[in-house]
Amino acid sequence: MIKIIDLKKRFNTRRVLNGLNLEIEQGKITVIIGRSGEGKSVLIKHIIGLLRPDSGQIFLDDMEITSMKEKDFNEVRKRFGMLFQGGALFDSMTVAGNVGFPLKEHTDLSDDDILKIVTEKLRRVGLVNVEEMMPADLSGGMRKRVGLARAIVMDPEIVLFDEPTTGLDPIMSDSVADLVLDTQRVLKTTYILITHDIPFTYKIADKIAMLHEGRIIEQGTVEEMKANQNPIVRQFLEGRAEGPIKVY
Amino acid sequence: MIGMFKGYLEKLGESAGKFVTSTGLMATMLAQAAVYAFTPPVKLRNIFKQMEFVGVQSLFVVVLTGTFTGMVMALQSFNALKRFGAESLVGPTVALSMARELGPVLTGLMVTGRAGSAMATELGTMRVTEQIDALFTMAVNPVKYLVVPRIIAGVLMFPLLTVITDFVGVVGGYMVGVRLLGINPGVYIGRTIDFVQVSDIFIGLEKSIVFGLIMSLVACFNGFYTTGGAEGVGRSATSSVVMGSVLILVSDYLLSSFLS
């Protein structure tokens, strides 16, 4: 379980996280929603140690990770996988090189064994015979799938997703949702996603948390959030320009 | 008036702050790279790949630059030395200039333009497309994985390229001096051997090691800390060439004073 307590982060004069509290259950899909620029990416960057908070704590099981030294944090990071918004695939490597990269860096497996695992993971995300392709030759949807294959190649306990459906058409978004559900149900991995794609969220979430002005203002299951009467939540879920959230 | 002065002071303070921050970050990167270079596992494949990029792929440009510089040196020094009846000193003039000064400096500037800008662009693109963040999340230290091989390649390949520049420069000078201007080949070679010492060549090589370090460190620093998307990548490439070239020229003077 991940427990985030009173997390605060400021960039220059702009306060992005303002005392954020959240509990993420093990083996569940937690989706964090909120407007663009509200600090969703900043939050998951704190969870994986790309950013350190100004104050507050993040517990992974019983370990407090925000104050860890970089070397110790690297051991913690091996328990994570992350899918970036644009895939963040290495341009200079083939698909197989990308997916197999963590195995090559952190295990003593032979190239043949790595390739077998890579092929299996690619098949799991619905891709076959793409091992020798370069990232530049892949479509947006394929890049996300390859990114997901790389994120799960080490069988991590926790996978973070940064806007997994941004830039995809609705059909491809739905197929990514199926992919998220398929891969999560098999291994019962903890998935943490940030998105503002509401249909996608309703389809996959075990728990939804809404981030607004640097805090989690409401959280609950899909049904609970659909029934939530907080005007900020209602405006966001219904996608209305009029309401307490000002468009600027 | 006071407002203008205050604004000027604020800008000055901001620039000074940026300079101190950049210098600190670059020094930290160098210190980290020095530690990680000797921390196993050492990925030889990455180092060889960068050596090929910095060294082999720069051969054409340094051969061209070295040859023509040697040729023009011979031509100009012949015109000057002829006035004193000292045409026989064209050979040593070319060889000494190439070995002590022009070989390392021209190699440094040309390779900074070619490889330094490409390094900054590659790392800058990796930064803005989150590939460097991806390395972090996969528990791979980006300084060890990306910066160390490039710095090692710069430090190892610059002396080799400088030797080649020196050699083709001397050959270019010989072709112009002997074949075109009619200096006796025996005199040309004999005078060159008389005047040029091994220590002259080593001074150039020592300089080139420093230039290799400057080129790779400046390029990696600019690329690694790129911000601002595609425009930022372009800015990093430009900065790496300008900053690298200026630092090479400044350090050349300091090294020349020190090594003399």
Q: Count residue pairs from A and B with Cβ separation < 8 A.
A: 48
Q: Which residues of B39-60 are buried (b: 16+ CB within 10 A; e: fewer)?
A: eeeeeeebbeebbebbbeebee
Domain boundaries, chain B: 40-259
- A230-248 pLDDT tens trace: 989 899 888 888 878 777 6
Of B134, B140, B141, the CB nearest to A84: B134
Q: Does A112 contact B at CB distance below 8 Å?
A: no
Cα distance from A83 to chain B (closest Cα, Å)?
9
- B145-157 pLDDT tens trace: 999 999 999 999 9
Average pLDDT over residues A127-155: 90
Confidence of residue A99 (pLDDT cuts 50, 70, 90): very high
- A77-94 pLDDT tens trace: 989 999 998 889 999 899
CA distance B66 to B162: 9
Chain A residues in contact with B141 by the CB 8 A cut-off are 74
Sites in chain B below the pLDDT cut of 50: none
Q: Does B131 contact A at CB distance below 8 Å?
A: yes
Instruction: Write out the two tokens for A99.
Output: 């997916």
For residue A117, the model assigns a pLDDT of 94
Q: Is the pLDDT of residue A15 over 80?
A: yes
For residue A184, the model assigns a pLDDT of 87
* CB contact (8 A) between residue A50 and residue B129: no
Of B126, B136, B141, the CB nearest to A50: B136
Average pLDDT over residues A161-167: 87
Cα distance from B127 to chain A (closest Cα, Å)?
10
Among A46, A77, A163, the strongest candidate for a mutation testing the B interface, having the largest count of B CBs within 10 A, is A77
CATH, range A2-238: 3.40.50.300
* CB contact (8 A) between residue B141 and residue A78: no
Q: Does B45 contact A at CB distance below 8 Å?
A: no
CA distance B8 to B228: 25
Query: Contact A180/A160 with Cβ under 8 angstroms?
Result: no
For residue A248, the model assigns a pLDDT of 65
Question: Which stretches does DSSP call E strand in chain A?
Answer: 2-11, 14-24, 29-33, 55-60, 63-64, 80-83, 158-162, 190-195, 207-212, 215-220
- A168-219 pLDDT tens trace: 788 888 888 888 888 888 778 999 999 988 999 999 999 999 999 899 999 9
* CB contact (8 A) between residue A91 and residue B131: yes
Instruction: Search chain A and give the residue with CA nearest B137.
Output: A77
* CB contact (8 A) between residue B130 and residue A82: no
Its ipTM equals: 0.87
